Structure 1
Amino acid sequence: MKSEDEEFKLYEKIYMAEADRKEKLLSRLNLPLAMIIALLSFLSYLLPKAPPTDTTAGIYFWILYLGAGVFIIRAMWHFARAWRIRFDDLAIPVAEKLEDHRKTLISYYDGSVELANSFFMQIMMDYYVMGATKNATNNDRRGNELDALSKNVIYAVIWSMFSFLPVFTYTRT
């Protein structure tokens, strides 16, 4: 009996740790989103200042500008994927539904609270095991998407800054 209680507490702890990890990963999406918005603003600022395409500065500008655009689109793609993974997470039903199920078990076992609670605790442990497993897999996917998102945002920043150089040099000449 003591072993079952320890297993239950272990799976509950793992489930809660994955839920906490999910929240931390989702909160890490805020900064890349703000950077994407800032980059889009910067690129929209640069667009009317584009050098003519018949100049070397114009050719370099459009190559760098479009490259930055590609990285921003890729970043938005990874952001969307990281954000949508949350729909696949498993959550334990609300307390009211759990209690209704426990009462159903009690009536099913002819009022045997001890037997019903035993089966109910097994159901709860199954929820924790399935939820922790699915959520850990989703958190790993979410982390991978966040990594790809961050890399693409960094590349977009670099290409955006370099696309400013032809504009700067063309307007100074």
Structure 2
Amino acid sequence: MKSDDEEYKLYEKIYLAEADRKEKLMGRLNLPLAMIVAVLSFLSYLLSKAPPVAVTAGVYFWISYLMAVVFVLVAMAHFSQGWRVRLDDLAIPTAEDLESHRRFLITYYDGDIVEANGWFMQIMMDYYIMGATRNAKNNDRRSSQLDQCSKYVIYAVVASIIAFVPTYTSSLT
């Protein structure tokens, strides 16, 4: 019986660690979102200052500006994917639902609380195993999407700065 208790505690610990990891990853999505908004604001400012295509600076501007727009769109797609992964996470039912099921088991086993609680603990362990497994896979996907989002936000920032140079130089003349 001691082995079952140790397994239960292990799976509970893994499940809770994945839940904590999920919260940390979801919190990390705030910075790329703020960066996307900032880059979009900068791009809208640059659009109003765009040099004409007839000059060399205009060609460089539009190439780098359109690259920045594409990078922002790709970053937004990765952000969206990272955000939506949470819909696939598996959560343990509410305490009220669990207690209702435990009481059902007690009735089902004709008042044998030991037998009912044994099955209830097995059900809880199964919840922890299924939840930890699915949430770990989702957290890996979420982390991958977050990394891709951050990478494309950085690309968009660099392309935006490159687009700023022709805008700035054309305004000097």
Q: TM-score, normalised by structure 2?
A: 0.99
Distance 1:167 1:12 in 2: 57
Q: Deviations over 1:99-139 (max 9, x none)?
A: 00000000000000000000000000000000000000000
| 2:94 corresponding residue in structure 1 | 94
Aligned-pair CA distance for 1:34: 0.3
SS in 1 for 2:93: coil
Residue ranges of structure 2 left out of the alignment (5+ in a row): none
Q: How does 1:98-109 map to 2 (within 5 A)?
A: 98-109=98-109
- Identity across the alignment (%): 68
Distance 2:48 2:82 in 1: 33
Q: Does 1:59 align with 2:59?
A: yes
| 2:150 corresponding residue in structure 1 | 150
Q: CA RMSD in A?
A: 0.4
SS in 2 for 1:90: coil
Aligned-pair CA distance for 1:87: 0.3
Please identify runs of 4+ aligned residues in structure 1 that moved more than 6 A.
none
Distance 2:80 2:112 in 1: 49
Match of 1:25, as an amino acid? L
| 1:140 corresponding residue in structure 2 | 140
SS in 2 for 1:54: coil
Match of 1:117, as an amino acid? N
Q: Does 1:163 align with 2:139?
A: no
Aligned-pair CA distance for 1:48: 1.2
Q: Deviations over 1:32-52 (max 9, x none)?
A: 000000010001011111000
Q: How does 1:1-173 map to 2 (within 5 A)?
A: 1-173=1-173
Q: TM-score, normalised by structure 1?
A: 0.99
